[in-house]
Copies of this chain bind each other. A is one copy, B any other.
Amino acid sequence: MHQTTAETAPGAAEACTTLPEPGTDEIRLECVLHALADPVRLRIVAELAAPGAALNCLAIDLPVTKSTSTHHFRVLREAGVIRQWRKGTSKMNALRRDDLARLYPGLLESVVAALAAQRDAARP
């Protein structure tokens, strides 16, 4: 388990069945901020941003139940923060880095950096 399935993001000819997500013109800043204003979701974003370009299924180990997990991923997707698609029995996730960078330059980067900084500050 836990094989780092570093699949190329969908867009190739694979039947990736990307789950419904807002277009770049549908993304609202307040929704993005609201999506980021939750510890659990912030943790997801951190995990998704941490490795080079890691896309994981729900093996991110959150302090909540499966259903709650699904809920949070959905909030992030519907806000336009992440992209999801099915891959066999599991589901892949990836930050919509480029889209967000185009809309709100520097926002995602500073949030991720702040998150890392805060985490470091908490570790003695």
Residues of A within 8 A of B (CB): 28-30, 33-34, 36-39, 42, 103-107, 109-111, 113-115, 117-118
With a 10 A CB-CB cut-off, give which of A28, A42, A110, A118 has the most chain B CB atoms: A110
A55 → chain B closest CB, angstroms: 23
In this complex, what residue of B is CB-closest to A100?
B114
A18 → chain B closest CB, angstroms: 25
Is A113 in contact with B117, judged by CB distance below 8 angstroms? Answer: no
A30 → chain B closest CB, angstroms: 6
Is A118 in contact with B42, judged by CB distance below 8 angstroms? Answer: no
Is A114 in contact with B103, judged by CB distance below 8 angstroms? Answer: yes
Q: Which residues of B contact A103 (CB under 8 A)?
A: 114, 117
A111 to B113, CA, bound (A): 15
In the complex where A107-B111, A110-B105, A110-B107 touch, is A39 in contact with B30 (Cβ < 8 A)? yes
